[in-house]
Amino acid sequence: YWKPGEIVETNNYYPFGLLHNYALTTQNAYQYKYNGKELQENGMYDYGARMYMPDLGRWGVVDPLAEKYRRWSPYNYAVNSPVRFIDPDGRFIIDPKATKEERAIIQRAINFAKSLIQDKKVLRSMMKWGQMSHSSILNDLTDGKGPVLNIKDLSGLQAFASYKGNSKGSGEFNLNSGTIDMANKLSGEDQSDLIFLIAVSILHEDVHRGDDVYGIDNPEEEGEKFEEEAFGESIQRNNSGDNRTKFNVGFQKILSDKFFEKNKDMLNKMRGYEEKKEKDNTNVKKKEYENIIKIKK
């Protein structure tokens, strides 16, 4: 005999998380509600780093990186689109419709983009053609402040990625779903080549966004100019492998140089210690020899 279970709680929310039936649902002992976050007695949700106010759709305190967060309010939640996004997780805001495999590819591309800007040539080219500062580029690639990355069919545009400007920096890029799907099907070096291409495409579109935000429109195609200046040519599917290989060699040199600079003092100290040790040993042996001569006399 089947007996239906008792309904102990029902939660209905406004888009930003405010409960419809607040008085009834807060009487229950289980207080993990909107996005699985704990509802406090003061009506705020505890997200760990900050407290969230669902009645306003805003955080209770300013973002700690507010000075770098120019494109959105430092109090805004989920880039003001709670139907599509949840709390930013310290990375680019990836399209929530993306599959697990697509997210993995995009995240690898983001990580590659972060390593690309460590190359001075790439960084200088982005700053020049996107009218961006070093800090704003870093901001776009870290801590959830970067653009929203959507996955779209761009076969009609014949593009790897696209950006639609609005003179304020709309903060949304479209990545070609065909390129992402192809990267998922590949493996090894072939997959890495395509991920490199996606990473360059992200930086390419960020140059467009920087140009859009600062309102200084170049008469030339600034994204293409960025690639030509940074890599010596426009990055395409047929040359992504060679350029990735060249960059990896250069990046290893950057890492080696940084390691040397970081450890130069330590190496000098060790060298000095060894020299002193050798000198001390020489002095000890000399003294022992002199003592032997004295005894013989």
| Domains along the chain with CATH numbers | 1-85 (no CATH), 93-241 (3.40.390)
Measured CA to CA, the distance from residue 63 to residue 76 in angstroms comes to: 9
- Cα distance between the two ends of the chain: 115
Gap between the Cα atoms of 271 and 293, Å rounded: 33
pLDDT at residue 249, rounded to an integer = 66
Q: Are 235 and 243 in contact (CB under 8 A)?
A: yes
Task: Look at residue 126 in the predicted model and tell me its pLDDT.
Answer: 93
Contact yes or no for 162/154 (Cβ under 8 A): yes
Tokens at 44, concatenated = 């705020």
Q: Residue type at 104? A: A
- Residue spans of the chain under pLDDT 70: 1-5, 7-8, 22-29, 63-72, 79, 84-93, 142-145, 156-158, 164-171, 215-219, 249-297
Neighbours of 62 (CB within 10 A): 13
Average pLDDT, the chain: 76
> Beta strands 93-94 and 148-152: pairing type?
parallel
Tokens of 208: 């467009």
pLDDT of residue 60: 85
Residue type, 279: K
Angle at which helices 120-130 and 188-214 cross, to 10°: 30
- List pLDDT tens digits, range 134-165: 888 887 876 456 777 888 888 766 678 888 66
- Cβ of 33: how many Cβ atoms within 10 Å? 19
pTM for the full predicted model: 0.57
Positions of E strands within the chain: 38-39, 45-46, 51-53, 58-59, 93-94, 148-152, 161-163, 172-176
| Cα 39 from Cα 53, distance rounded (Å) | 10
Tell me the backbone φ, ψ of residue 123, rounded to 5 degrees: -65, -45
